[in-house]
Chains A and B, each alone.
Chain A
């Protein structure tokens, strides 16, 4: 059976729908991160996907350090998951002596939240995992 060819108009409509969905998803994640930013002890966040990146961190001098840490965390999780059969990594928490970070993937978005040591990471995680 010959597969019916989709016309240009159908393809264009589909592209628009995907773009709108993606934008909506990204917008909703960003809105959620703005909400999280108001939580006690939250320093800021980094939101990345294949098309764009948004960074909202209080201290501009930390942007590069935090962005590279965020990338390293997401890069390591694939390798470690494969080594130890962890399945799909839901989240990563890196706790330092001064601050800590939470990294999670929401759809196509990589999210990193930076917070003070005493901030409630569990509460942030619950908010991120909330549908």
Chain B
């Protein structure tokens, strides 16, 4: 879980909470299956030992209808465990900390991010609720392919206005997925080609009746977009992790950098 977009977003959220509340000694999340997402200030082994220590209480607390919160109040600090969506959030604060403020912030921020992530989970490559087989893939009001000028294979645009889908379109309208930007390595990397993992390209091909997908539209959350050549990644370590490798030139034109989120949609023609 640690490597995917989901944990990336949650980890950033936890770090943002720690930045807003420097009093927090430790913050991390875990799921019932033992997956852990820890903030910067928490060592993974400490989080793992905590989960182990809490495991017995969680199990026995079924007698209470399942755990919603656990609070350990000590003379030097307080540990709070809260059930949020399908995860537990653990925070540890010193005795003098403003626990009300911290609780308000975490209770507002974390469930919001979790809900948001659940909503976009199909785009993140996480397990999503199964859809009926015969149903068309969901068409999202996201990005449309931009008009490509013949002399440029990479174009940028400030606009993200979407033209109406053609009534003659046979295949479902391309769907935008979110990816994390990664730099392209290697001397011979093409400056006009973005790369996503093989699995994503295969899924797109399957979704769009095995049409050859050679281009993709990359759109930033700032509203910039670029249509680029698309190729599968060479590096298998990024496989299934929601990563898109974008050459520096395109990153500059889109005004994004490594680690940021972009939306990517295959160009189906």
Contact = CB atoms under 8 A, between A and B. Distances in A.
B67 interface: yes
A80 B26 CA distance: 12
A33 B62 CA distance: 24
Contact of A84 (B57, B69, B70, B92): B92
Contact of B72 (A66, A72, A86): A86
A87 interface: yes
B60 A93 contact: no
Which size class do B's interface residues fall under?
20 to 34
A95 interface: yes
B64 A86 contact: no
A99 B72 contact: no
B72 A95 contact: no
* B interface, over-half SS: mixed
B56 A80 contact: no
Q: Which of A68, A96, A97, A99 gathers most chain B CB within 10 Å? A: A96
Contact of A89 (B53, B65, B74): B74
A96 B62 CA distance: 8
B60 A69 contact: yes
A16 to B, nearest CB: 33
Interface string B57-77: 101111111111111111111
Interface string A70-101: 00110111011101111111111111111111
Contacts of B49: 79, 83
B53 A79 contact: yes
Contacts of B75: 86-88, 90
Given A86-B92, A90-B74, 14 more contacts: A66-B63, A69-B64, A75-B56, A77-B72, A79-B53, A83-B50, A84-B50, A86-B76, A86-B77, A89-B73, A92-B71, A93-B73, A96-B66, A101-B64
Interface of A: 62, 65-66, 68-69, 72-73, 75-77, 79-81, 83-101
